[in-house]
Structure formats: C-alpha cells, structure tokens
Amino acid sequence: MDDGELTWGIWAIVLGVIGVWVVIWIVVGLFYCLTLQKALERCAPQNRAMSPGLVWLFLIPLFNLVWHFFIVLNMAKSLHAEFMYRGIVEEPNPGQGIGLAACILNCASWVPYVGGLAGLGGFVCWIIYWVRIAGCSGKIALPYMPPPPPPSVAPPQTPAPA
C-alpha cells in the first residue's frame, strides 16, 4: 500500500464520519423543530408571537445562530400569553432564560480558545430548553375549554306586605 492509497483511505473515513455527524444533527434538528412547532400550534392564534412554520428556519446553517434568539423570545411570549389565557400559573417567560443562555453560548462557541467549552455549555442548555418547551407544550396539549359561568343566584325575594 502506498502513501496515495493511505491518504485516500483516511479522507474517506473522515468524510464518512462527517457525513454521519451531519445526518445525525439534521435528524435531531427536525425533531427539535417539530417540538417547537407543536408548542406554538397548541397556543391559540391570538396568543402566538410568531407563526409555527417559522421555526423551520432554524435548520439554515449559521442563520440559525441569530434566528434561535427570535425563536426563544417569541416562544416565551407565546407560552406566557397562552398560560395567562388558560389561567395556568407558570413563570412569566417560560424557558426564556435557559433558551437565551443556549443562544449566547452557541454564538460564543465560534470564539477561539473558549469555543469548545462554550459549545458544550450551549449544547447542555439547548437540551434543557428543548425539554422545558416540550413540558410547557404538554401543559397546553388539551384544547382549552373556558370554565362555565358561575350559576346566577337570584336575589332573595322579600315577601310582599299583606
């Protein structure tokens, strides 16, 4: 075996590993976007801060670093409005803190020397955010049925003088 064959073999392995890695991230991204879309679809239209279909822009490489901020902020607004509408007691902006942490750390992962650590932290925060949004989505899974009005109580009748 000469050096040329060895070099091509190494490149084939490297490209194969990168290809598998890309496919895994695309599949994970699809499931993430499905979770976000479902959460927004479960919110009443008047409570949505963004259209559910816009979450799919997250799959655009590099653009997703910026778009994820918009998703996190609008998801928090939408879920907060839906919880208020349904009378569910919940934190004011569900998932916003951990979601913004994930966004900031993922952007910081591009910074030399700190990128690896920031990327790991961003990944952990992203998973926590995903689980948090799935949990909030589960709380609003059933269609909203407003409570029936309280029964009207007739004022007591005073007897007529005889």
18-34 in b/e burial notation, b at 16+ Cβ within 10 A?
A: eeeeeeeeeeeeeebbe
Confidence of residue 4 (pLDDT cuts 50, 70, 90): low
Query: Is 154 contained in some domain?
Result: no
Per-residue confidence (pLDDT) for residue 162, from 0 to 100: 63
> 65-115, pLDDT tens digit by residue?
999 999 999 999 999 999 999 998 888 899 999 999 999 999 999 999 999
Query: Is 152 contained in some domain?
Result: no
Share of the chain above pLDDT 70, in %: 93
Per-residue confidence (pLDDT) for residue 97, from 0 to 100: 97
Query: Is 81 contained in some domain?
Result: yes
Number of domains in the chain: 1
Query: Is 53 contained in some domain?
Result: yes
Confidence of residue 56 (pLDDT cuts 50, 70, 90): very high
Average pLDDT over residues 138-152: 79
Query: Is 156 contained in some domain?
Result: no
DSSP 38: H
Which structural domain range is residue 82 located in? 7-139
> 9-31, pLDDT tens digit by residue?
888 888 898 999 999 999 999 99
**Helix (H/G/I), strand (E/B), else coil: 50:** coil
Query: Is 149 contained in some domain?
Result: no
CA 8 → CA 5, 15, 22, 73, distances in Å?
Answer: 5, 10, 21, 47
Query: Is 159 contained in some domain?
Result: no
Cα–Cα distance for residue pair 32/155, rounded to 1 Å:
56
Task: Decide: 49 and 55 in contact? Cβ < 8 Å.
Answer: no
In the block, which residue shows the tokens 């790991």? 120
Per-residue confidence (pLDDT) for residue 155, from 0 to 100: 64
Query: Is 155 contained in some domain?
Result: no
